[in-house]
Amino acid sequence: MASSSDGEPRGGEKVRACLLSGEVLEVELPSRSGVFEIRGQVAHRLGLHRFEVALLHGGRKLHDTDHDSVHEVSVLVQPFLSQDVIDQLIHNMRAAGVVFSPGMTDAEIQNAEENCKISFPPDLRLFLQTAMPEGPDFPKNWRRTVAVSVHDHHAVMRDDIHERLGGVESFWYSEWGPRPEDRNERASLTKRHLKGVPRLIPIYGQHFVVSGTPAGQPVLGVAERYRMCRLATDLAAYFSLMFNFRPVRPYLNCPIVTATFWGEFEKHLFHDQTHRTAQHSAHIASGLWR
């Protein structure tokens, strides 16, 4: 076997990962791999995101920063936004001055979804069922109803989108099928398609997640007409950025859920705004040289 520069054998290490089902995965890793690498490999083998996998050893939950040498771990599949992460988020938000009321029940969640014609993403649902933030910029008490504000905002956004369509550079959602060349036909089809666009669920102020998406969706900000941007890759990142505390877990480079109408529309607005800014800058620059 080849040796490393310090004289120690160089080769892979095998870690046994035991699932609750009784299945055992053997994961081979480079020598001196830590929990971070083990967790990533186990998640990959299971077809999950690393946030959806927890590792336990000797009855203790391991953390990515642990460097203990382990050769056998128990694997716990958990929600993308796990309960311990939610508990830490709520603790930090309370320290930042956010007031919470008790979490919502299953019946209250169902009532809010029916009233507002929405479906809470799993991570937001679990967060609200743990504790519900209250305050001027948070949605009005979901236990009563915020149906009017959700409906009104959805109608305004739908009108704004419709107003944008029809031009040469107009937006056309890929899942609507082939884009009609005729402007009138395109406007008619757009008006029909927009009735089925998923609603935006308010999180805080003018910040939203998309109804009916899986866990791990980005948080979008709607500043004004034609302006939408991605504020954070997921809820955990959003709350830490919004309330200015250290992240409770590493930030994602990009959201794991992006293939939605609103995701494509946000990208369209970004590229459109970038194009307009570039044109404006070029116009100013040309004037300076005259």
Asked whether 153 and 200 are in contact (CB, 8 A), the reply is yes
The SS3 assignment for 290 reads coil
Q: How confident is the model at residue 286 (pLDDT cuts 50, 70, 90)?
A: very low
Show the tokens assigned to 152: 């009104």
User: DSSP label at 26?
Assistant: E
Please tell me which residue, 257 or 73, carries the higher pLDDT value: 73
Mean pLDDT, the chain, integer: 79
Please tell me which residue, 166 or 122, carries the higher pLDDT value: 122
Name the pairing type of β-strands 12-19 and 72-77: parallel
184 pLDDT higher than 90: no
- Chain centroid, CA 191 distance in Å: 28
| Angle, in degrees to the nearest 10, between helices 235-242 and 83-95 | 10
Domains and CATH numbers, the chain: 13-77 (3.10.20.90), 83-282 (no CATH)
Please tell me which residue, 198 or 83, carries the higher pLDDT value: 83
Q: Which residues contact 147 (CB under 8 A, 6 or more apart)?
A: 115, 116, 117
pLDDT in tens, 149-181: 665 655 555 665 655 554 435 678 888 889 888
Kindly report the number of other CB atoms within 10 A of residue 236's CB atom: 26
